[in-house]
Structure 1
Amino acid sequence: MPVNAEADLPLSSTGNPERMACLPEYDTPVVNTADADAPATLLDGSFLTEAVELAPAGIALLHGPDHRFTYANRAYRHLRKPGSAFIGQPAATVFPEFAIAGRLPLVDEVYATRRTVRRREFAVLRETGEQAFYDFDHVPLAGADGSVRAILVLASDVTDKVTMRQAAEVRAAEAEKAQQLLEGLLAFIPEGVILAEAPDVTIRHVSAYGTRMTGRPAAELEGIPAHQHVERWDILRSDGVTRADPEDLPLTRATRRGEVVTNEEWVLRRVDGQALTILCNAGPIRAPDGTITGGVIAWRDISAARQVQAELRDALAQKELLLGEVNHRVRNSLQLVSSLLGLQARETAGAETRRELEAAAARVGAIAKLHERLYKGPSVERVEFGAYLRSLCQDLGEAASEHIFEVEVAAVDLPTDTAVALGLVFVELVANAIKHANPVDDTRRIFVHFGSTAAGGVELSVRDYGVGLPPGFVPGQGTRGFGMRVILGMARQLGAELRAGNAAPGARWTLHLPGSGQVTPECGHMARSVSDRS
């Protein structure tokens, strides 16, 4: 209903907004400051005038068909630059954007309908040039005859509300876009991805890959808390037998305790009963303040890879078994040949022939001993040469019981081919020491050293305590016996350096191989043993 603009409505403490609307028409704003010291009451018109002038909401009066301003309080005047004319000016002149936006016909509507017309969140340029938003209420003020004589305009600043809502709308649009991107990613990524909410680890989303792998619909897998995960997903521990504990699952640990779980294997049974081995990685989702708001787990089916690995292990085990059997049979055959050569040597009358047969038996025996280590050892590709040397020294010591073997070796792994060649060189060097040592006293000792060098190679040396080498002796010159040819040939094959010299007393032969060995970490120290003379 329009407010009666001519009725005698005294200003009182009732706070009636219709009475507040019946303000006198001022050609200029009136603020009574002359009687500032005089007591003011709610019945004092000057006090009410000042209250309207200083009100935080914009208040104005419009008259006539062209809507001229007859009053505008300070808040309303701040909608324009300082000094802008208001009183007596048409609204279209003061606010041209109102006319452009079509708001003035709304004011005409107040005259026609005699009802309040509201315009929400209208954009206005403030005096600073910044855009602001206001809610405008146009209240009709009626005369005694009931016709609209003026319009009371109330302008409320809603800029903060609009700005916050627009920012929220932008954030909502960005979140929706991010959600669409996430859903698109999860729909095609070849991994199962599960998103859960804290604190009860309720599953909110399962990727398409996850539902396909389980054979279950998303509606059956989503919306369930932690205590239902094991039963609904049918999860077992990596052994494929033991039922999982819900509190031990990676997603639960990540969401409730903030753990980051990497590369854990679990077993998931499909709806058709097929067991899948899955590799899981999980972690917490945190708010900016660090609070855990959820968790995420990514998993993929590695059943095929595990099956291939199992088949490879079986194939390798079969290969090792076959190679071990081959080495075992080769060792038996070589041992038989060595025994026959030894038997022939014992039945031979000629000393030189007997020595040659014994040397041949020792060579074959050395190779047989290596094949024994191959089929008994963990690998057919490498040999722990230190242990192999100790075994050879024991056999050679039994054959030459008048000698004492002092053995100082380190545990060094060598490739099989290197070990065979180096073993033959060792047998020849020991045979040479036994044959040519000629001790000046009763000291029949042979010292064997083997180990790694600082440069990364390995070194083998054999020393006797005899009369030593003749002056100017050079390996391979002056004498070309079969044993020496074996030593030189194997040294060339290994790319090794052969040195010979006097040790005072006796002679020392040294073979150096660059970068050939790998020291076994747990037994890389030198081990020393001495064989007793029988």
Structure 2
Amino acid sequence: MELIQEFFTSGGFIPHGHCYLWKTELVWLHLLSDLLIAIAYYSIPISLIYFVRKREDLPFRWIFLLFGVFIILCGTTHVMEIWTLWHPTYWVSGTIKTLTAIVSVFTAASLIPLLPKVLAMPTLSELEAINIALAKEIAERKEVELELSHNLDLREAIYNEATDALFLVDTTTLLIIDCNPCAVEMFEVNSKEELIGIEGQALQKRQFSDRELTAILEDISNKGFWRGDIEYVTKKGKHFWGNLAAKHINVAGQDMNLVRVKNINDRKLAEQEAQEGKRILDALMEYIPDGITIADAPDVNIRRVSKYGEQLTGRSREVLEDIPADRHVQEWGIFRIDGITPATNEELPLTRAVQKGENVIDEEWVLQKPDGSQIVILCNAGPIRDEENAVTGGVIAWRDITDRKRVEEYINNLNIELEARVLERTLELSRANAELETEVNERKRTEERFDLVLKNSPITVFTQDRDLRYTWVYNPALGVDYESVIGKLDAEILTLEEDAQRLSHLKQQVLTNGIGRREEVHVSTHDETRYFDLTVEPLHDRDREIIGIGCVALDITQRKESEVQLRAAYDREIVLMKEIHHRVKNNLQIISGLLYLQSRQVGEPKTQAIIQSSRDRILSMALLHEKLYRSRDLEHIDFIGYIQSLTLSLENSYASRSTNISLNINAEPVKVDIDTAMYCGLIVNELVSNALKYAFPEGRSGQITIEFHKGEPDGYTLIVRDNGIGMNEAIDLKHAKNLGLQLVYSLATQQLKGQISLEHQGGMAFKITFTIKP
């Protein structure tokens, strides 16, 4: 252990740096030199080891590894030179140098027997010549092998790699000898054994006739091949089109037909689509209500024009088609939108689409017809491109928008007028807004006055929802407050259940029918009954759906009490008035009776007649009071009943003269006031009395008619006519000497304030028209 410890310690030696007197420059010189040498020594063996690992065929690999060990030890000795500058472990340093010496001597000894072998190795030029000769030999051998397998590879490539179905067919039996995998896939069979041994045309949808088959075989024999399009059917029933090419060949001394079937289904579909597209294009060009023009590139030669395009231009297809770009403007009559400036051929939309590939959207041009009339057309044009995006032509669609332009001009004029009206309306709205603000302020003041009035009035306003629960109340009645009413039903507020049911029924009718109601209702509390004039109206939302009701209740309790009092006073007055009418009637009858007694004391007939007339007038007034006494209405009287009673009384008074005279009454059922009834009764009394006395002398028969009708508002007509002998047509009622006629004229013009007229045709008629002021 002591020996090992002494081996790795300084053992009293001084560092190597003392030899350099610790001169900084000298120390750094040796340090850097040894460090760089060590780094170089260590990198060399790394490269050698990497080289040996990559070249496993390298001869004498061990000598390279030995050189690597030798160089590593050399580098380590230089590292120890740096270490001993400060750490004098000279035993370790000496040991490493000893190992280096042993390895170096062994390496030098190993090189001596190795040199002859190295010198015997071929040079690079010799190796290159050997490699070239070897490569030539290999190439020649491969060429021979390729030539030998060429035929087999070619056949294998034809059958296995071809994208078409290939068949070898016997020229005599026309049976399939062999086929490639593509044929198996094309005809959807499991293996080629299903195809070998069958006749090829068995795969066709329609087999050849004998004549067709003979012609095909002759073409193969004479021309060496035959080609045609045939529709086939696969084993799974799928139809497809194939192009068949048959050629006579000789394989290994055996004659046979090589048949190729190429699937051309896509081409056939493309041809069908192209034909369908052509039919669609023909239909569009024939029926589409727009002008369509198609041109070829690059000279913009017009190939086709739609039928509607011919009609719009007013020109025939022969004039419009097959013309180049430099004649478009002239032949078509194209102008710019102003209708005056002719267009140039270069700026036309179709020319730009074909020659520049532009897409032209909604350009307006003017087209002039042969008769000089012009139309405005709206154009959209674009290029036609092929698969490689090259322009092969162009198309332009255009339509007549002349009417639309007129409409636009009309609309523009309307817009101008509308803007003026809007400006005018805006000014009106400004004024209306100012007026509205004034009205709003006035309404607010009105509402304040309304609130003030309602607070001191017997009016209650409230709203209820569809469930008849109170949602708002203003000026609550019956001694309740706002909070105790909101959200409640009538049954929860009112004292009596029947009051709540009656009010709820009324309100529910308004909710159901949507029609407002106004009724007088009464509500009882614990100590009184109050009466209200209740108005109920439905409330609607914006969609006019009923969402509740609004009510206004006017407390009319005091009015109802006053009405009771007035009714009692009125009843007492009625009793008093009836008593008065009864006594007046009795007094008039007494006067009539006295006159009757007086007439019996007078012997002169003329005086008796005067007294009788007076009695009749008194009786007519007595009869009026009799009617009023028996009537419930003391202010108005049934005029028909009164006239009937009056005429009956007159018939009784003149019974001896009215035997052959009939009295007819034609009157509407109307009621008149007492004064009017009395005046009309006196008139009827006078006229009927005169007719009974004078119109039918010597017992002649006749007819007296009384008519009473209501005409215009408040207007009435009274007519008394007879078919008797009539009166003198020169009579003047105003100055009549007869007391009766004077009385009639006075009553009609002064009391009734009406007019009286006479008719003398077929007897005598008195017509009185008057107005009764309400």
CA deviation string 1:29-63 (max 9, x = no partner): xxxxxxxxxxxxxxxxxxxxxxxxxxxxxxxxxxx
For residue 510 of structure 1, report the CA deviation from its aligned partner. Answer: 0.5
1:343 to 1:201, Cα distance in 2 relative to 1, 3 A: same
1:482 to 1:299, Cα distance in 2 relative to 1, 3 A: closer
- Residue in structure 1 matching 2:630, options 343, 359, 376: 376
**In the comparison of the two structures, how many residue pairs are matched?**
319
CA deviation string 1:418-457 (max 9, x = no partner): 32223222222233233333525x3243513222275643
1:219 to 1:344, Cα distance in 2 relative to 1, 3 A: same
Structure 1: state its 5+ residue gaps.
1-180, 237-241, 519-534
CA deviation string 1:144-201 (max 9, x = no partner): xxxxxxxxxxxxxxxxxxxxxxxxxxxxxxxxxxxxx99x969948533445455x54
Q: Is it true that 1:265 corresponds to 2:520 in the alignment?
A: yes
1:421 to 1:286, Cα distance in 2 relative to 1, 3 A: closer
Q: Is it true that 1:408 corresponds to 2:669 in the alignment?
A: no
Q: Is it true that 1:214 corresponds to 2:478 in the alignment?
A: yes
SS at match of 2:655: coil
1:251 to 1:471, Cα distance in 2 relative to 1, 3 A: closer
The amino acid that maps onto 2:478 is: T
SS at match of 2:664: strand
CA deviation string 1:235-259 (max 9, x = no partner): 56xxxxx4432783555666x7584
For residue 266 of structure 1, report the CA deviation from its aligned partner. Answer: 2.8
1:233 to 1:383, Cα distance in 2 relative to 1, 3 A: closer
Using the alignment, how far apart are the partners of 1:453 and 1:287 within structure 2? 48
Which residue is 1:248 aligned to? Answer: 504
1:425 to 1:259, Cα distance in 2 relative to 1, 3 A: closer
Are the counterparts in 2 of residues 448 and 462 from structure 1 also a CA contact under 8 Å?
yes
Are the counterparts in 1 of residues 578 and 629 from structure 2 also a CA contact under 8 Å?
yes
For residue 223 of structure 1, report the CA deviation from its aligned partner. Answer: 4.2
- Residue in structure 1 matching 2:584, options 324, 330, 337: 330
Q: Is it true that 1:510 corresponds to 2:774 in the alignment?
A: no
1:220-369 paired onto structure 2 within 5 Å: 220-224=484-488, 226=489, 229-235=490-496, 242-245=498-501, 248-250=504-506, 257=512, 259=514, 261-270=516-525, 272-283=526-537, 288=542, 295-369=549-623
CA deviation string 1:344-377 (max 9, x = no partner): 2234322122112111111111111111122223
Q: Is it true that 1:390 corresponds to 2:644 in the alignment?
A: yes
The amino acid that maps onto 1:373 is: K
Using the alignment, how far apart are the partners of 2:547 and 2:760 within structure 1? 80
1:419 to 1:196, Cα distance in 2 relative to 1, 3 A: closer
1:120-159 paired onto structure 2 within 5 Å: none
Using the alignment, how far apart are the partners of 1:349 and 1:220 within structure 2? 92
- Larger proportion of helix: 2
Are the counterparts in 1 of residues 710 and 716 from structure 2 also a CA contact under 8 Å?
yes
- Residue in structure 2 matching 1:486, options 734, 743, 751: 743
Using the alignment, how far apart are the partners of 2:539 and 2:675 within structure 1? 57
The amino acid that maps onto 2:521 is: W
The amino acid that maps onto 2:460 is: G
The amino acid that maps onto 1:277 is: Y
Using the alignment, how far apart are the partners of 1:222 and 1:513 within structure 2? 63
Are the counterparts in 2 of residues 458 and 516 from structure 1 also a CA contact under 8 Å?
no
Structure having the higher Rg: 2
Are the counterparts in 2 of residues 451 and 459 from structure 1 also a CA contact under 8 Å?
yes
Are the counterparts in 2 of residues 386 and 450 from structure 1 also a CA contact under 8 Å?
no
Are the counterparts in 1 of residues 465 and 547 from structure 2 also a CA contact under 8 Å?
yes
1:350 to 1:259, Cα distance in 2 relative to 1, 3 A: same
Using the alignment, how far apart are the partners of 1:215 and 1:421 within structure 2? 57
Q: Is it true that 1:433 corresponds to 2:681 in the alignment?
A: no
The amino acid that maps onto 1:492 is: T
1:465 to 1:249, Cα distance in 2 relative to 1, 3 A: closer
1:266 to 1:235, Cα distance in 2 relative to 1, 3 A: farther
Using the alignment, how far apart are the partners of 1:360 and 1:426 within structure 2? 14
Give me the CA root mean square deviation: 3.7
Are the counterparts in 2 of residues 251 and 297 from structure 1 also a CA contact under 8 Å?
no
For residue 296 of structure 1, report the CA deviation from its aligned partner. Answer: 4.4
For residue 410 of structure 1, report the CA deviation from its aligned partner. Answer: 0.3
Using the alignment, how far apart are the partners of 2:654 and 2:542 within structure 1? 82
Are the counterparts in 1 of residues 757 and 766 from structure 2 also a CA contact under 8 Å?
yes
The amino acid that maps onto 1:406 is: L
Q: Is it true that 1:458 corresponds to 2:699 in the alignment?
A: no
1:378 to 1:220, Cα distance in 2 relative to 1, 3 A: same
Using the alignment, how far apart are the partners of 1:433 and 1:517 within structure 2? 31
1:235 to 1:251, Cα distance in 2 relative to 1, 3 A: farther
Using the alignment, how far apart are the partners of 1:408 and 1:246 within structure 2? 50
For residue 203 of structure 1, report the CA deviation from its aligned partner. Answer: 3.8
TM-score w.r.t. structure 1 length? 0.51
For residue 396 of structure 1, report the CA deviation from its aligned partner. Answer: 1.0
Using the alignment, how far apart are the partners of 2:731 and 2:473 within structure 1? 83
Using the alignment, how far apart are the partners of 1:290 and 1:474 within structure 2? 71
The amino acid that maps onto 2:753 is: G
Using the alignment, how far apart are the partners of 1:295 and 1:465 within structure 2? 70
Using the alignment, how far apart are the partners of 1:475 and 1:283 within structure 2? 61
The amino acid that maps onto 1:269 is: S
Are the counterparts in 2 of residues 469 and 501 from structure 1 also a CA contact under 8 Å?
no
CA deviation string 1:82-116 (max 9, x = no partner): xxxxxxxxxxxxxxxxxxxxxxxxxxxxxxxxxxx
Are the counterparts in 1 of residues 753 and 771 from structure 2 also a CA contact under 8 Å?
no
Are the counterparts in 1 of residues 758 and 764 from structure 2 also a CA contact under 8 Å?
yes
- Residue in structure 2 matching 1:424, options 682, 692, 717: 682
Using the alignment, how far apart are the partners of 2:632 and 2:546 within structure 1? 50
CA deviation string 1:282-322 (max 9, x = no partner): 45555545666555444232212222333333333333332
Which residue is 2:258 aligned to? Answer: none
The amino acid that maps onto 1:433 is: A
For residue 394 of structure 1, report the CA deviation from its aligned partner. Answer: 0.6
Q: Percent identical across equivalent pairs?
A: 22
For residue 471 of structure 1, report the CA deviation from its aligned partner. Answer: 6.5
1:222 to 1:361, Cα distance in 2 relative to 1, 3 A: same
Using the alignment, how far apart are the partners of 1:476 and 1:261 within structure 2? 58
Using the alignment, how far apart are the partners of 2:578 and 2:663 within structure 1? 31
SS at match of 1:358: helix
1:438-449 paired onto structure 2 within 5 Å: 439=697, 442-449=699-706
For residue 230 of structure 1, report the CA deviation from its aligned partner. Answer: 1.9
1:250 to 1:296, Cα distance in 2 relative to 1, 3 A: farther
1:476 to 1:514, Cα distance in 2 relative to 1, 3 A: closer
1:357 to 1:251, Cα distance in 2 relative to 1, 3 A: closer
Using the alignment, how far apart are the partners of 1:406 and 1:517 within structure 2? 30
Using the alignment, how far apart are the partners of 1:487 and 1:253 within structure 2? 58
1:261 to 1:461, Cα distance in 2 relative to 1, 3 A: closer
Are the counterparts in 1 of residues 519 and 534 from structure 2 also a CA contact under 8 Å?
yes
Which residue is 2:460 aligned to? Answer: 192
Are the counterparts in 2 of residues 383 and 419 from structure 1 also a CA contact under 8 Å?
yes
Are the counterparts in 2 of residues 498 and 509 from structure 1 also a CA contact under 8 Å?
no
Are the counterparts in 1 of residues 688 and 720 from structure 2 also a CA contact under 8 Å?
no
Structure 2: state its 5+ residue gaps.
1-446
